[in-house]
């Protein structure tokens, strides 16, 4: 039955064409691009005066996550024929998802819950992340709020993402370090840990601002 490498083997993926790139190539490109954009952002943002180190780090995060959401997760949502594309029509995002689905085959069958979450991530959290980066650099009064909103959306998506797979009994991942632990657990855990830290930081910043604003009102 299985004309595909994914789990479980009785999964039906009509017209599936396997990826043609090696996973080391895919990881090397992903790692290089991410490192380039994070370093470039770090250096560029260093020129902005009055920015704390935690804000400079946050801008790097927002640029990286914003680009991943729009340029990598965007194509997944839009291209419904991604897993049926032949090698002539393949490219980086196509190869990424054909490889990533070894850690979560729900991507290969376009599970509606996955597509809905990816849609929100690509088209709301993606632009929202880039807006957060802009807002921090230009010190807009909505900077903490946008950071909080996007982080909360990312965290909500991850809870549903992991929660549904726990309820399904972890049947959609190939076993082993690379597929289950690195692709499925680690690559998603990043979007639990970092958003959680940003939620705490922005919650405290907003708490302080409202406390000051309330105090000012009382004085009047």
Interaction site with a second copy (CB under 8 A): 112-113, 115-117, 119-120, 139, 141-145, 148-149, 152-153, 156-157, 159-160, 163-165, 167-168, 203, 205-214, 216
Least distance to a second copy from the beta carbon of 29, Å?
Answer: 30
Q: Which is nearer to a second copy, 82 or 148 (CB)?
A: 148
Least distance to a second copy from the beta carbon of 17, Å?
Answer: 23
Omega into 8 within 30° of 0, i.e. cis? yes
Q: What is the C-alpha separation between 163 and 19, in angstroms, rounded?
A: 28
Contact (CB, 8 A) for 126 and 62:
no
Q: Which is nearer to a second copy, 71 or 206 (CB)?
A: 206
Least distance to a second copy from the beta carbon of 54, Å?
Answer: 16
Q: Which is nearer to a second copy, 24 or 219 (CB)?
A: 219
Q: Which is nearer to a second copy, 167 or 177 (CB)?
A: 167
Q: What is the C-alpha separation between 211 and 198, in angstroms, rounded?
A: 20
Least distance to a second copy from the beta carbon of 86, Å?
Answer: 25
Q: Which is nearer to a second copy, 68 or 158 (CB)?
A: 158
Q: Which is nearer to a second copy, 59 or 117 (CB)?
A: 117
Contact (CB, 8 A) for 78 and 66:
no
Contact (CB, 8 A) for 97 and 83:
yes
The 10 Å CB-count burial string (b at 16+, else e) for 21-44 is: bebeebeeebeebeeebbeebeee
How far does CA 85 lie from the centroid of its chain? 23
Least distance to a second copy from the beta carbon of 79, Å?
Answer: 15
Least distance to a second copy from the beta carbon of 145, Å?
Answer: 5
Residue 139 burial class via C-beta count within 10 angstroms: exposed 0-12, middle 13-18, buried 19 and up: exposed
């Amino acid at each position: 039955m299985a004309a595909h490498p994914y789990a479980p083997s009785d999964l039906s993926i009509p017209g599936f064409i396997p990826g043609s790139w090696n996973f080391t190539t895919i990881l090397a490109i992903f790692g290089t691009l991410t490192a380039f954009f994070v370093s470039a952002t770090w250096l560029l943002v260093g020129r902005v005066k009055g920015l704390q180190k935690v804000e400079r780090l946050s801008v790097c995060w927002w640029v990286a996550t914003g680009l991943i959401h729009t340029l990598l997760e965007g194509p997944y949502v839009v291209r419904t024929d991604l897993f049926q594309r032949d090698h002539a029509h393949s490219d980086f995002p196509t190869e990424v998802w054909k490889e990533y689905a070894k850690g979560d085959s729900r991507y290969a069958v376009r599970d509606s819950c996955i597509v809905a979450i990816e849609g929100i991530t690509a088209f709301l959290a993606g632009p929202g992340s880039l807006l957060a980066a802009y807002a921090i650099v230009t010190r807009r009064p909505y900077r903490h709020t946008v950071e909080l909103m996007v982080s909360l959306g990312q965290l909500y998506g991850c809870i549903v993402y992991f929660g549904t797979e726990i309820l399904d009994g972890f049947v959609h991942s190939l076993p082993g370090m690379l597929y289950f632990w690195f692709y499925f657990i680690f690559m998603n855990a990043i979007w639990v840990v970092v958003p959680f830290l940003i939620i705490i930081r922005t919650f405290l910043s907003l708490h302080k601002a409202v406390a000051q604003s309330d105090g000012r009102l009382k004085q009047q």
